[in-house]
Every structure is written in structure tokens, then in C-alpha cells.
Amino acid sequence: MGGGGGGKSNDGKTAKAQKKIAADQLAFDRERFAEQTARQARIDAYQQTLDERRLALDLRGEERADKALAFQNTLAQQQLDYQRERDDKLYGLQQQQLALTQQDLQFYRDQATRERERIEAKEDAEAAKEQARLTLGSEGYDAYKEGLEQQLRSGLINATSAQQYLEDYVDTYQIAGKDLDKRGFTDIYGQEVLRPRYEQGVGTAYEEVLGRAPTEEEYTKAMAKFNPAEGFTSASSLKEDLYKTR
């Protein structure tokens, strides 16, 4: 009886103890679960905080990058605008310099043209003046030649001088085809100046030496000796011959 009753009592205690152990285990498990849940919640919260901070940092980084990019773009645009403005100014200065250079070139072209026109006008005027001089000289040739002939006949100049004067005149006024005119001076001077002098000299020689005029035969013989081409134009030798034959 007693052993059987003792067995029932231990089973109850054991069951109770097992129940208590199960309850304690459940409580422990719940407590551990709660702790793990709380710890996981803290970890998740911390991780979320980290993620938020990273996101904020990333956003700030992106914002800084955007600002940096915007600054770089703004700086690049300013640099581009400055370069364009500088290029425009430089182009404007180059255009002004080109315009001034073209003006200078045109000025010197005009100056050269005016100088060339002045020189050409001067040359034309000189040529016209020279042509007028030559024309005037050519037109006055006959009168000049007649003047020399008159001086020849008057005995103011001899045939050599007349020929030289006429030659100088022809050269001065560039007159062609007048070479034969110089020969006429010799005939004029010989026949119209020297011959009358010689003829007078013949009569004078006879008068001085013989005291009379020459006979026709003597006159003809004496005049036959007159030869301007050989330089025999003086009656002085005739006078000497008369002295010898007297």
C-alpha cells in the first residue's frame, strides 16, 4: 500500500517538476526570444541609422558632386564666354587692323598712281614741248639757212663757219636729209664773195704794179687761176708775178 502510494507521489512531483521545468524553459525561451527580438530590433535600428546616414552622406556627396559639376559647368561656361568675348574683340581688332592696312595700301596705290600720272604728264608735256621745239626748228630751217647765206654774201662768215652753223642747227633740231645743203655754201662763198674780191685784186694788182688795167686777155688768164677748191683765192701771187715781169 505504502510503496504504491509512494510511487504515485513521486510521479506527481516529477510531473510537477517537469511541468515547472517546461514552464521555466518556455519562459526562458520567451525571454531569450524577446532579448533576441529586442537585440535584432536594436541591430536593425542601428543598421537603419547607418543606412540613413550613408544615404544622407550619399545625398550630400551627390549634392556636392552636383554643386561641383554645376560649378565646373559654370566656370567652363564663363571661360567659354570669356574666350568668345576675347575672340570677338581680337577678331574686331584684326578687322580694324585689316581695314587700316587696306586703307594704307589703297593710299600708297593712289599715291603711286598719282605719281605715275604726274610723271607721265610731265613726260608727255616734255615730249610735246620737245616735239614743238623740233617742229619749230624744222619750220625755221629755210629761214636760218637763208640767214647764213646772207651772212656769207656779206662776208661776215666764211663757208666753213656757215657749214658748221648749219650742221649744229640740223643736229639740234634733228632734221634729216639736209647734208647736200652745206655744199652750196662753198659755191656761194667762192663765186659771190671770193671771186669778186679776187677780181678786184686782179685789177688792183695791175694798177699798182703796171699802172694800168689788165687787158681782156690778161684778165681772162688771171681769172683762170682762181680756184677756191684748191685754196687759190688771193691775187697776191699775181702781184708778185707782175713785179717779176715788169
- Model confidence pLDDT, tens digit, residues 156-181: 999 899 999 999 999 999 999 887 78
pLDDT higher than 70, residue 19 = yes
Are 135 and 191 in a shared domain? Answer: no
pLDDT grade, residue 1 (50/70/90)? very low
Are 209 and 221 in a shared domain? Answer: yes
Q: What is the dihedral of CA 55, 57, 58, 62, to 10 degrees?
A: 140
Whether 48 is covered by a domain: the verdict is no
Q: How far from the centroid of its chain's Cα atoms is residue 210's Cα?
A: 93
pLDDT higher than 60, residue 7 = no
pLDDT (average), residues 100-104: 90
Are 121 and 149 in a shared domain? Answer: no
- The reported pLDDT for the residue numbered 232 is 56
Q: Given 139, 164, 180, which residue is the final one in a domain?
A: 139
Are 126 and 219 in a shared domain? Answer: no
Are 226 and 148 in a shared domain? Answer: yes
DSSP SS3 for 101? helix
Whether 235 is covered by a domain: the verdict is yes
Whether 28 is covered by a domain: the verdict is no
Whether 5 is covered by a domain: the verdict is no
Gap between the Cα atoms of 125 and 131, Å rounded = 10
Gap between the Cα atoms of 189 and 228, Å rounded = 9
Whether 150 is covered by a domain: the verdict is yes
| pLDDT mean across residues, the chain | 84
- Check: CB of residue 178 under 8 Å from CB of residue 141: yes
Range of the structural domain that residue 150 is part of: 141-245
Length reported for the chain? 246
Are 160 and 193 in a shared domain? Answer: yes
pLDDT higher than 60, residue 230 = no
- The reported pLDDT for the residue numbered 108 is 93
Whether 70 is covered by a domain: the verdict is no
Are 150 and 237 in a shared domain? Answer: yes
Least confident of 7-16, 91-100, 105-114, 120-129: 7-16
Are 147 and 216 in a shared domain? Answer: yes
Query: Is the entire prediction scored with pTM above 0.75?
Result: no
Gap between the Cα atoms of 146 and 130, Å rounded = 24
Are 180 and 96 in a shared domain? Answer: no
pLDDT higher than 90, residue 155 = no
- Check: CB of residue 159 under 8 Å from CB of residue 189: yes
Whether 88 is covered by a domain: the verdict is yes
pLDDT higher than 60, residue 3 = no
Q: Which residue has the higher pLDDT, 237 or 111?
A: 111
Whether 206 is covered by a domain: the verdict is yes
Are 188 and 241 in a shared domain? Answer: yes
pLDDT higher than 60, residue 49 = yes
pLDDT higher than 80, residue 184 = yes
- The reported pLDDT for the residue numbered 74 is 82
Answer left, alpha or beta for residue 211, where phi above 0 means left and psi between -120 and 50 means alpha.
left
Query: Considering the chain, what percentage of its residues have pLDDT values greater than 70?
Result: 91
Are 123 and 219 in a shared domain? Answer: no
pLDDT (average), residues 66-70: 76
Neighbours of 195 (CB within 10 A): 15
Are 131 and 166 in a shared domain? Answer: no
Q: Which residue has the higher pLDDT, 71 or 132?
A: 132
Q: Given 139, 164, 179, which residue is the final one in a domain?
A: 139
Angle between helices 2-139 and 141-154 (to 10 degrees): 40
Q: Which residue has the cell 717779176?
A: 244
pLDDT higher than 60, residue 89 = yes
Q: Given 139, 159, 178, which residue is the final one in a domain?
A: 139
- Check: CB of residue 205 under 8 Å from CB of residue 165: no
User: Looking at the 3D structure of the chain, how many domains does it have?
Assistant: 2
